[in-house]
Structure 1
Amino acid sequence: MNDTLVFPALLAVRRRRPRDIHLYFALFAGSILVFCLRSLIGGANGLAADFLAIAGCATCGWSWLLTRALFRRDAPDALPWPWGLVLIMIALTAVLRWSPAGPVQQMGGKVMELIGSTALLLALVEPLLGLRGAAQGERRFRLIFAAAYATIMGIGVIWISGAPQGSWAAQWGDQVKIACAFVGLLGAGLAVWYRGRHALADGARPRRVATDDDRALGERVLRLMTEDRLFTEPSLKVADLARHLGEAEYRVTQCVTGALGFGNFNQMVNQFRIEQAQQMLSDPRCDHLPVLTIALDCGFGSIGPFNRVFKARYEVTPTVFRNTRAGKLV
């Protein structure tokens, strides 16, 4: 079978995987439904009640991850620690549910309250971080989202939780919380729908207009990269490139981000490295070379950064890329 036809087709299938924003929405929606079900059954005990408590404990954490995905371009797959924080909440809830009453359980409950409150606050702050420089439509979306989120939290968390005993808010607290949860779920769905039709801009500042000198310098930079293969030096810095060119560092940086159109110096270097790696992984004559060797030959210092940059570009790992080209995957 023709590899030139099979490989792009398989890559296209992999590119249609669900976006992280949809995964976070599904997790948030599931935790909302579990929270509502738990509220309806009240203070029941048993394994089912324990499961509902554990499954619904991370609602505030999932809301934060969803908000990050809505308002940050680098949120998906970029940082593992937010996921870790949510998983800690789930594990801590499981420990508290099955541990005897005492000081340890009380302290754990306080820690859970602190983590949950922090996640709620972070979810409120996320849309406000990108207000500066945002387009009018994006700015309006962020402000509406933040206002709606603050209103729901103000009613469902602050007002109901702080209501005095015997008051209307205390008596109908569970019903109000369930109503707020469903309003929040509806709002989150609308936000995901809106983001799907209005992609998040990169927020980068307008680039400096390139001059003729910048373009001439850009040609020299490209020659060093393509002909002298300067990108294969693992510790290559702007200062090193400037020294080869006999130019000031700021001039090289202006050229890279202006005339050449890259976001920064590292982005440019990694693009040359990844393109070279892709060529080697696609070449049957290089099949005897381990992936690590190819990574080092292309200028990466270790396999970890190489895998991350390659997957960000081609949406598959280098090993999967090579095996797919070689017809080893079904």
Structure 2
Amino acid sequence: MRAIGLTATERPGGRWPETYLYGGLFTAAIAAFCLAQLLGQRLGPASGLVAIAGDATCGWSWLLVRALFQPPRSQRAAWPLLLVLTLVAIGALLRTSIGLAAPLPRMAENLGGLISSAMLLMAALEPLKGLTPRTSHPERRFRLTFAAGYAAMLVVAVLWADGAPPGPWSPLIKPACALAALVGMGAAIAYRRRHPLEPARAARQAPLPANAEDLAQAIRRLMANEALYAQPNLRVADLARRLGEPEYKVTQCVTGPLGFPNFSQMTNHFRIEEAKRRLTDPACDHLPILTLSYDCGFGSIGPFNRAFKAQTGMTPQAFRKGRRAV
């Protein structure tokens, strides 16, 4: 049986990014929450609807965080959105439960609290799920900063605000946290727009070769110990010829057991590791950056600088200066 899924929302001229869709819903929920907290019954007949609209801020924030940190896919699972809509329905039930049997609202309130808590926890952990040893330094910093900020917001808005004794500023704490969360989410969306994630790869149908692990070890040995990466314009065919294996098997090992997105990124990984070693070696201080880039297998300084910054978060020159300052 095929899993139920949701496709990305369409807009004229292309697909509407999920970050914008859920960002808009999160913004609307935050606005409704703040109005309900600050004005309450002064909103008149609209107070109930505004309160219901603001009940699922944690749900929309969770969906937004998923969109920020999960690779884009042509189809998404439907259950996260259904779970958030369930939370909205529970909020509506609780605010219109006059005349219902007593156990039902209490059960709904407990269920809503459980779902909300789970969503907050999943949103805090979502940025950490995608961290791997090969995550670039800027992406790693973004994920860790976001997770730390989200966790800090939870501590203030949920643990501290609910447990603190009442005071003159108590009614303003949660709206202030909500607005701060809105600013943080806006900054995260802006960052992701400038640094998008690569689309998720379709599941591979071809099985790995029987000797995949042995072949992966042989690739590591050739790249690390024999410095095959230093060969300019290195291709999969060159590596396959050295190994005596078909190209497709080498590619499967690169993207399988070795865990690199493609052959080029694997080659650059080993080249940058060697460049880092030389930049921290006092015996290489007299060598220009350009010479080091050639020695590590790059054909020009531009690709070297871009690959180095993508992996370390700084230029080779800044990396060398930082080492000297230590």
- What TM-score comes out, normalization by structure 1 length? 0.57
Instruction: Identify the residue that residue 116 of structure 1 maps to in structure 2.
Output: 116
Q: Give the aligned length.
A: 211
Shift of 1:263: 7.7
CA distance, structure 1, for counterparts of residue 13 and residue 251 of structure 2: 33
- Alignment of structure 1 residues 167-316 onto 2, 5 Å: 168=167, 171-201=168-198, 211-212=240-241, 214-215=245-246, 218=248, 254=252
Q: Deviations over 1:232-253 (max 9, x none)?
A: xxxxxxxxxxxxxxxxxxx598
CA distance, structure 1, for counterparts of residue 190 and residue 53 of structure 2: 25
Are residues 70 and 174 of structure 1, via their aligned partners in 2, closer, same or farther at CA, if it must alter by over 3 Å? same
Q: Which moved more, 1:70-79 or 1:191-200?
A: 70-79
Shift of 1:87: 0.5
Shift of 1:103: 1.9
CA distance, structure 2, for counterparts of residue 255 and residue 144 of structure 1: 33
- Is the CA contact 1:65–1:82 (under 8 Å) kept in the aligned structure 2? yes
Aligned partner of 1:53 among 39, 51, 54: 51
Shift of 1:176: 1.1
Are residues 62 and 104 of structure 1, via their aligned partners in 2, closer, same or farther at CA, if it must alter by over 3 Å? same
- Is the CA contact 2:25–2:60 (under 8 Å) kept in the aligned structure 1? yes
CA distance, structure 1, for counterparts of residue 93 and residue 162 of structure 2: 24
Instruction: Identify the residue that residue 270 of structure 2 maps to in structure 1.
Output: none
What root-mean-square deviation, in Å, do the aligned CA atoms of Structure 1 and Structure 2 show? 3.2
CA distance, structure 2, for counterparts of residue 180 and residue 126 of structure 1: 20
- Is the CA contact 2:157–2:174 (under 8 Å) kept in the aligned structure 1? yes
Is 2:142 the partner of 1:141?
A: yes
CA distance, structure 2, for counterparts of residue 42 and residue 65 of structure 1: 27
Are residues 94 and 41 of structure 1, via their aligned partners in 2, closer, same or farther at CA, if it must alter by over 3 Å? same
Q: Alignment identity in percent?
A: 44
CA distance, structure 2, for counterparts of residue 158 and residue 128 of structure 1: 22
- Is the CA contact 1:61–1:86 (under 8 Å) kept in the aligned structure 2? yes
CA distance, structure 2, for counterparts of residue 162 and residue 82 of structure 1: 30
Is 2:93 the partner of 1:130?
A: no
- Is the CA contact 2:73–2:199 (under 8 Å) kept in the aligned structure 1? no
Shift of 1:174: 2.1
Instruction: Identify the residue that residue 36 of structure 2 maps to in structure 1.
Output: 38
Shift of 1:254: 3.0
Provide runs of 4+ in structure 1 moved above 6 Å. none
Instruction: Show structure 2 runs of 5+ residues with no match.
Output: 1-9, 202-215, 220-235, 263-326
Instruction: Identify the residue that residue 320 of structure 1 maps to in structure 2.
Output: none
Q: Which moved more, 1:12-21 or 1:188-197?
A: 12-21
Q: Deviations over 1:142-176 (max 9, x none)?
A: 11111111111111111011123x4x3xx422211
Aligned partner of 2:67 among 60, 66, 69: 69
Q: Deviations over 1:189-221 (max 9, x none)?
A: 0000001111224699xx9655145546x5xxx
Instruction: Identify the residue that residue 17 of structure 2 maps to in structure 1.
Output: 19
Instruction: Show structure 1 runs of 5+ residues with no match.
Output: 1-11, 219-250, 265-330
Q: Which moved more, 1:23-32 or 1:145-154?
A: 145-154
Instruction: Identify the residue that residue 78 of structure 2 maps to in structure 1.
Output: 80
Are residues 75 and 25 of structure 1, via their aligned partners in 2, closer, same or farther at CA, if it must alter by over 3 Å? farther
Aligned partner of 2:26 among 25, 28, 33: 28
Q: Secondary structure at the match of 1:78?
A: strand
Are residues 155 and 123 of structure 1, via their aligned partners in 2, closer, same or farther at CA, if it must alter by over 3 Å? same
Shift of 1:139: 0.6
Shift of 1:59: 0.4
CA distance, structure 2, for counterparts of residue 202 and residue 196 of structure 1: 14
Shift of 1:110: 1.1
- What TM-score comes out, normalization by structure 2 length? 0.58
- Is the CA contact 2:36–2:51 (under 8 Å) kept in the aligned structure 1? yes
Instruction: Identify the residue that residue 323 of structure 2 maps to in structure 1.
Output: none
